[in-house]
Every structure is written in structure tokens, then in C-alpha cells.
Structure 1
């Protein structure tokens, strides 16, 4: 089969080559890939930002496709099913897994990082990672479910967003940001999107702040001085100060990305004086992924595709995913 493979870290070493089709064991499912999302974790895997195994390595964490073959002991999935892949590798036996926190497994990781990923024609994964999707769901939405959509859903649950809260989403034109806007509206919050792209109003933003230097001023105006109940920041250091300053009394600041850098400064006096809660969120668990599939129909959520490209162009677009044009 064809796959995008690198033998050592560096985008210049990512090549399209023929490799052996993955084998399946009794509990595995072989999936023929239809659409794979491009995620910052893919860039970091190829560029050397995270340690990967095995080498040579196939990246790709955000996956959807059709079941080609199943192992002898697979019971809930059949050949021909349209499916997505839960992106976390987990043992199912550690204390965190037993507490339904598979994304934090002490012995786990991410598909495409600690195992070969889906920038290929086929991938083999355990049945427990495979979720069926409805026939009416398009592949663009399906490919976003296991990371972008799940991450936004989990982050808002961690923040306990509720009806009539004020939610601010930084990087609102990115895939996870778009999903956070939509979930925020469905919960019943007032939603402010921080982005240079005004089209995010089509995804649930009640207000759009396009000038990153005037975020705090505009939030103060919009909320009449109350500021936000929940702020989502997936961009990192460049927007950290304005994110923190936009949180109101007893508010929550959730971070799950570091696109512009990870080292930030914190005014702890403001933190305790306003009783702000800082929350780190990563991915989500399988229960939450199933909750999304059960609660929302294919028409309830939508994505905006930036580019469609073939696997031959993977190197070029992995470079683009780290650019600020997504913000």
C-alpha cells in the first residue's frame, strides 16, 4: 500500500512509498482510509517535536474510513461499516483508564505518534478504538470527530459551560475553535469568537473580535464590564495575556494548545483575587465521543474545509498547519 513515511525527524524526510499492508490480530479492525484530518500533532510528529515509534513511521491521527477486514474475535464491527478511529492508544487497565480517562493512560499515547498512523491506504486498530458513524454523515465531518470535535466538547465539559454564560473562543476559525463555537451556542451561551475571519458568525459566534490587540477592550464593552465566564485558548503564549485578562470573576480559562508557544507568565494575584480556575484539557474519552455521536445528528454540526489534498502533498500541508492563517 502507499503511505507517507519518514525514517528520521524532519519534514524533508517525509516521502510517499510502498509499504506492507498492516496485519490484524483477533481483536483488530483493518480500515481503508477515506479522509484524514491534518492536525498540529501530525506536524510535531514529523518535525521531531515529539518522540515517535516505530521508525520508519507513518503519521496521521485524525482518521475516518470503511472497514475492510475484521479479526476473528471482533463482535460489534463488520466489514463495510463506515467508521472513525478514537485517536488514543490506551491499555484499559491503569487507574486512569479504569476511571474513563483513556486519553491520560499512563502507558498510552496518540495514534500516529506511539503507533503508525493513517496517512496511508490502510490502518489496523483495536476494535475498542473503532466507532460506527451514520450513513448520512459526510467524510469531512467524520474525519474531525476524534480530535477536533472531541477536544472542543471535552474542554467545554471541563469548564462546566452552562446556559447564559459568556464564552470566548480564541482561534475561532480553526477546526477546534469552530466546534467550540457550535457547542457553545447549543448549550445556550453567549459566544464571542476571536478571529480575523468574520465568517465564524456562520458557526455560532454572536460577536467577532478581529483585532487581537483590542480583545480585552471589546470584551469589556460587550459584557458591560462582567468579562467572560469561560475562555478557551488553543493558541498559546501570543494570546495568553488577553485571554487571562478577559476572564471574569469566578471564571474559567481552559487551554489545550500551544500553536504560538507554551511558556507564559501568570499574575497569581489576579488569579486568586478573581478566583479564576485554570484548566488544562486534552482530547477526551471514548464515552464523550459516543455521547457526541448519540446526541448530535450529522446536520447538527458542520466543518469548513480549508484545503483538500492527496497524500502525495502531505509534506506541503503539514507546514501550513502551523501557520497563523488558521487563527
Structure 2
């Protein structure tokens, strides 16, 4: 079978190689990977993060079809369409016992602490699989990271019907789904992006980051946003924290433009604002997303095949990118 692999860090070391199919453990499922999302974590796995094992297969977000199941797997059968919950977890620590597997004290992320999904076939523990309906593979492959990260963040913020939510980076991997899911939850959605097409995903208003505070102030009569999502970091920090209303919540799950910012403590306590960190999501939330998935859309900028994995990673940070970057593997 073919895999995308590297033996030393660096995008130029990424190659497609032939290798044997993975061996199946008694609790594992052999999956034919159909599609994978391309995410910042994949870029960092290839270029700079210390990963194991080596040589290494990247790919944190993927979906496919069950080919074979281990002796102790009863929930899945060949032919099932599944998305892969990409967290490694032991199931026994206090976080796992609280159904917060993504925070497992002894775990990690598939593609960082294990090989990932940029391969024709992958062996995955049955507990990491979620069945999906007959949806497009670009949606299926977006559920485990892009959609789940957005969903968990909105749930962590306690978003309620009627809330105003401002989403920075609304046209990005997670932003697309944050817009749709916030709208499904009954929120008024202000998309902060230069891409007007996010209106097609349910955004009520579209504003640019440089005018976000003023525009959000006008749209809300000065009340500002109840929830602000900002995965971009340093470049949008001043605008996004400025858009938080009284007793509002600012939530992040990324730092694409840098992670060092300056915080006015007086503004924080005088408005009783909350600052929340969020990462990934739970297995239960991924199951909930799978049920919602027929209602979800994704705008794909470009789809690459396995031989163009390096170009896919380059495209991820291109100013010309206009939607998701995907990797076609098994179709």
C-alpha cells in the first residue's frame, strides 16, 4: 500500500512510499482511507514537531470505509463508513472517566504520538471510530478536527439561542463550521473575514478584522458580542478581545499568527469577561456531529492527491487559499 511519509523533519522530505498493510490487533479496525483534511497540525508535524514513530506518516483528520475488524470488535463491520476520532486515550485517567478523552493525561493526538491517516490503509482502535451517514467525503473528513474543534468551542462557551457570536477567521477550516453550528444553535452570527461567501453558510453579517470592533458595536447597539471565537492569535487579539461584551466570553483554540499578547486585567474584571481555552472535542460530541453532518457544508479550495501532499501543505498558508485544502486518498 502507499503512504505519505518522512524520515526527517522538513516538507522537502515528504514522500509517497510503498509499505505493508498494518497488522490488525484484536480491538482494531482496518480502514481504507478515502479522504483527509489538511490542517496546520499536519504542517507542524512534518516541519517541526517531535513525533513518533519514525519514519512517520502525518494526517490528523481522516475518514474512510471499514475493510476488516479485529476479533473483539462487534460495533463495526466491513463496508461501514466512519470518521476517526483522532485522540489517543487510555480510558482510565480522571479526564477519560469524565468523558473528556481529548484531555487524557496519558494520551495525545494521532499523527503526533502515532502514525496518522495519510495512507491508503490504517489500523485504528474500534473505540476511535464513529459511523457516518451517506455524506460527501469532504464533509466526513472534516468532522474529526475542523468541525469538532468548532463544536466543542461553542459548547464550552455555553452558546445559547439569541446570543451574538463573532467568529474571527470565519472562512478557515474551523471557522466555516463555527458559522454553521452557531447558526444551528440559534445565535446571531457575525463572521469576521474578507470572504463574503460565508453568508452562504449562515452568517448574518460579514465584517473585516480591521473594522470589527466598530462594526460589531454598530450592529449590536454597543452591547458587543456574547461570544467571540478567535483561533488566529496575535494579529487579531486586539480586535477580538475588544469585541467582547459585558459578561461575554472570548474563546480560542489556535495561535496561527502568534501566541504572545498583552491583556488589560482591568478590562477583564470590570466587564466580568471570560477567557476560555478549548482544544479538540469529545467522542460524544463527534457522535453528535455525525448526526448533524447531513446539514453541514464545506467550501473546498483545492483537493490534492497523495503525490501532491507537499503542495497541499504549502497551499494551507497561501493568501490565495479560499476554503479548505483536502487530500484525496482512496477515491
Gaps of 5+ in 1: none
- Residues in 2 aligned to 1:231 and 1:68: alpha-carbon distance in whole angstroms: 42
TM-score, normalised with respect to structure 2: 0.95
Give per-residue Cα distances to partners, 1:33-79, cap 9 Å, x unaligned.
Answer: 1001101110110011x221001000001111111111111100001
Aligned pair count reads: 322
Cα gap change, 1:133 to 1:219, in 2 (>3 Å): same
Instruction: Confirm or deny: 8 A CA contact 1:173 1:326 kept in the other structure.
Output: no
- Residues in 2 aligned to 1:324 and 1:111: alpha-carbon distance in whole angstroms: 28
Structure 2 match to 1:259: 256
Kindly indicate whether residue 299 of structure 2 is the aligned counterpart of residue 304 of structure 1: yes
Instruction: Confirm or deny: 8 A CA contact 1:191 1:206 kept in the other structure.
Output: yes
- Residues in 1 aligned to 2:143 and 2:101: alpha-carbon distance in whole angstroms: 16
Give per-residue Cα distances to partners, 1:208-260, cap 9 Å, x unaligned.
Answer: 013x2211111111111000000000111100110000000000000001111
Q: How does 1:1-327 map to 2 (within 5 A)?
A: 1-48=1-48, 50-134=49-133, 136-210=134-208, 212-294=209-291, 296-298=292-294, 300-325=295-320
- Residues in 1 aligned to 2:128 and 2:320: alpha-carbon distance in whole angstroms: 32
Instruction: Confirm or deny: 8 A CA contact 2:39 2:173 kept in the other structure.
Output: no
Cα gap change, 1:86 to 1:198, in 2 (>3 Å): same
CA shift at 1:80, angstroms?
Answer: 1.1
**Local SS of the residue matching 1:306:** strand
Gaps of 5+ in 2: 323-331
Instruction: Confirm or deny: 8 A CA contact 2:90 2:107 kept in the other structure.
Output: yes
Indicate the structure whose relative CO is greater, using CA pairs within 8 Å and at least 6 residues apart: 2
Return structure 1 stretches of 4+ with deviation > 6 angstroms. none
- Residues in 2 aligned to 1:147 and 1:119: alpha-carbon distance in whole angstroms: 15
CA shift at 1:31, angstroms?
Answer: 0.4
CA shift at 1:24, angstroms?
Answer: 0.9
CA RMSD between the two structures: 1.1
- Residues in 2 aligned to 1:297 and 1:326: alpha-carbon distance in whole angstroms: 24
Instruction: Confirm or deny: 8 A CA contact 1:43 1:322 kept in the other structure.
Output: no
